[in-house]
Chain A
């Protein structure tokens, strides 16, 4: 990470875009100072020698049991759909994402 605050602000803008979070200028400035302190703390992990460590070792874990993949009837769709911000004819509705004329049947 760049040490300059300009670089930091750019980085936060980039990460916010990836995370789909709209931030206003005040938020970016505010988060900026904290972000640097937090990342400095996280970076202390590099002090530890972790050569030959399997990061995803499961030897310490209980084996996960299998279950049957069974269909269970559940018919409260309308309750779920009624909480959607916008729905139409039993579907969630979002702004159009494909260009062109798709109205013809």
Chain B
């Protein structure tokens, strides 16, 4: 096998290869690191590549392999981690000047889980500042680019994680999703991106954005890898009070299906007349056909409130929570600080210079909607609308096991296209946002490629803790459309 072939293998294929002695961990890691070094000149998918750390860990793992030790489920698998998830001893910037030099003194729960399973963290991924954005252009470290077409964005906020997986830096990556930040970049890059149910994965060590919405989830190029990494990171953890203690199912078992007999797939009524790209509409009808062929019952569902009011509801609640969560960045204990004679001046100047434009905008909106004279009209009303959205999904799930919707209204857009008009930019998350408001799991996956060679994504939404249903439907679709492809550089526009 040529070394460059390593970059196309799935996580589970790598583990198989190590076990059979086909190649070593250091072979794979060295190949990945060289590939990263060359491609980072273009892609900027990583804020901090971990060359030294990954190398020494690969030697350590090879030694364990030689000693015949029992291997973890992700043994020797390179993983990219979004830069708002802490890794002990490594800087965690959140894509912000505010944390440019902050070295985390502890690891996130998900990182501990990955390391126990034998994974090798090879880099911290680029992202929109504090996970606020849909293009990774709001990173203080420069934008990440889409590996399929360098003139386009990879989506965001977890754009660097998605780009890393499609570019072959690693077969799997972690991101975070508050309103679509895993699923929208996964759709733009043509890989799998799963936002688990609120409460399935511990957020200990995830820098908080909007605590009632944030979830950590995986990116991968095959469903088997999605199931494998989800199994590892969903281990219960008491350090996040919202993390459910119930036993997790064996996610891989849901993938052994060829039929959807007795299974109901709901689709959005009237999706043909929505203002979305025609190729996305086509992908939806093709995907409906695949499910029907596999024996699923296809039902129509209505989500009028979620579709119409999901965005304003989210853009009230998320900034409100962010304005409170980001109050901790005050220039006193850690992070960016501007010296001043007066404490108030220190706060004002540190936060004024440390935060970028989108973060400031959202802190201002959040502070506005929480103000005592606006609270009832804005924040409380949004919380009530959120309840209506939850009810609407409950009604839809009385008719269907999973819902099929577009992942995004458009194909990956050009760089700079949506920087000046935030309201237009927020539209990118139209179909993903209601899922966070209702706390549901959802997977975005590639359904086809457009005529212009860009990935076209669709989204499968499940009931609470219904990740298994999603994997089941997705598995039948994957058997027809194939797993996600890589865009390694030579095949790029």
Contacts and interface: CB of A to CB of B under 8 A. Distances in A.
Contacts of B342: 95
Contacts of B249: none
Interface stretch (B22-30, B51-59, B385-393): B385-393
B284 to A, nearest CB: 26
B352 A46 contact: no
A73 interface: no
A95 B84 CA distance: 30
A62 B244 contact: yes
A83 B104 CA distance: 10
Contacts of B241: 64-65, 67
B390 to A, nearest CB: 5
A69 B384 CA distance: 34
Interface string A79-100: 1100111100000101101000
B351 A21 contact: yes
Given A48-B388, A92-B332, A42 B378 contact: yes
A60 B377 contact: no
A48 B309 contact: yes
Contact of A21 (B305, B346, B355, B421): B355
B360 interface: yes
A88 to B, nearest CB: 13
Interface string B323-367: 100010011111001011111111111011101010011011111
B387 A64 contact: no
A11 B369 CA distance: 12
B361 A67 contact: no
A55 interface: yes
B312 A41 contact: yes
Contacts of B238: 65, 67
Contacts of B348: 20-22
Given A46-B377, A84-B333, A85-B331, A57 B312 contact: no
B333 A92 contact: yes
A71 interface: no
B334 A12 contact: no
Contacts of B50: none
A15 B384 contact: no
Interface in A11-32: 11-12, 15-16, 18-23, 27, 30-31
B346 A23 contact: no
Interface in B275-309: 305, 309
A64 B241 CA distance: 6
A31 B387 contact: no
Given A42-B312, A95-B340, A95-B342, A55 B244 contact: no
Interface string A31-60: 100110111011111101010011111001
A21 B423 contact: no
Given A21-B348, A41-B311, A31 B360 contact: yes
B367 A38 contact: no
Interface in B72-108: 101-103, 105
Contacts of A41: 311-312, 315, 423
A76 interface: yes
Interface string B413-442: 000000001110000000000000001000
A72 to B, nearest CB: 10
Given A45-B313, A95-B342, A55 B369 contact: no
A55 B333 contact: no
A19 B388 CA distance: 30
A80 B334 contact: yes
B351 A44 contact: no
B199 interface: yes
Given A12-B364, A22-B353, A42-B316, A83 B439 contact: no
B244 A94 contact: no
A63 to B, nearest CB: 9
Contact of B384 (A42, A53, A67, A84): A53
A94 B305 contact: no
Given A80-B334, A85-B331, A21 B340 contact: no
A20 B333 CA distance: 16
Contact of A38 (B333, B386, B422): B422
Contacts of A50: 381, 384-385, 387-388
A54 B386 CA distance: 10
A95 B423 contact: no
Contacts of A97: 343
A67 B313 CA distance: 33
24 contacts: A11-B368, A19-B363, A19-B367, A20-B348, A21-B363, A21-B364, A22-B349, A23-B360, A35-B364, A39-B368, A42-B315, A42-B382, A45-B385, A48-B309, A50-B387, A53-B387, A55-B387, A65-B244, A65-B245, A67-B238, A76-B105, A94-B343, A94-B346, A95-B345
Closest 6 CB pairs of A and B: A22-B352, A85-B337, A55-B383, A50-B384, A22-B348, A19-B367
Interface of A: 11-12, 15-16, 18-23, 27, 30-31, 34-35, 37-39, 41-46, 48, 50, 53-57, 60-62, 64-65, 67, 76, 79-80, 83-86, 92, 94-95, 97
Given A21-B348, A46-B381, A55-B387, 6 more contacts: A11-B368, A53-B387, A55-B384, A65-B245, A85-B332, A95-B341
